[in-house]
Amino acid sequence: MKLDYRFRDPALAELALTHRSIGKPNNERLEFLGDALLGAVVAEMLYEAHPRASEGELSRLRAQLVNGQALAVIARELELGEELKLGPGELKSGGFRRDSILADAFEALVAAVYLDGGFDACRGTVRGLFEARVAALPQSSKDAKTRLQEWLQGRGLPLPSYELKASHGEDHAKVFEVVCVIAEPATLQAEASGPSRRAAEQDAAESVLAQLAVLPR
């Protein structure tokens, strides 16, 4: 494991990398705590780095950085898959390569650092892992649909398509479900729902941008 932190209590690190397929104890409770800690520290970093961004823009940027695929990329960089403790079924099915398991283990590891060394140690570790990622985000207030369109146009790729899948609810509280699809550089799609078709399309576009961010280069 390539984490730049030395545990005083190695049992915490071991627990963080123990999947529920092993039985109990496992990393589910640590995952819950780590999710909250990770969200708080990344939110602080974005707040500092984007002083003019709105609450919605900050939320979208955070979602781009801490979604399951993005966290799985970090877990692979730290070589967590090689350290995971999995039950026979998960081992056989290649669970050590699965994004969801890797992302959960990374969140649990963040919590383990917090319990082992306190909040300052946790904050420093997370900031070290996310500093370059936050710096690489565009300093832009453009909405997600515009950014996705410009990203594709800049590479000469086909524009995204948006399809309304369903709408339901009373007129004053309607919910729209939309899917955004792109064909290149890989076939990607994301579904989202919102109080308007435009809001749902924006969230779907943001999810596709997050997927593009973690594609192999």
Helix, strand or coil for residue 213?
helix
Helix, strand or coil for residue 9?
coil
Query: Residue 41's CB: how many other CB atoms inside 10 A?
Result: 22
As a dihedral over the C-alpha atoms of residue 182, residue 74, residue 79, residue 33, rounded to 10 degrees, the angle is -120
Query: Which residue in 35, 83, 90, 203 is the catalytic one?
Result: 35
Cα distance between residue 73 and residue 69, in whole Å: 6
- Residue ranges of alpha helices (H) inside the chain are 10-16, 28-49, 55-66, 68-77, 88-92, 99-117, 119-136, 144-153, 197-213
Question: In sequence order, which residues have a C-beta less than 8 Å from that of residue 51 and are 6 or more positions away?
Answer: none
Q: Are strands 161-168 and 188-194 parallel, antiparallel or unpaired?
A: unpaired
Can you read off the two tokens belonging to residue 83? 């350290």
Residue 79 annotated to the active site: no
Residue 163 annotated to the active site: no
Query: Which residue in 31, 104, 107, 203 is the catalytic one?
Result: 107
- Say which residue the tokens 């979604």 belong to: 67
206 to 45, 51, 143, 149: CA distances (angstroms): 19, 20, 9, 11
Provide the annotated active-site residues. Answer: 35, 107
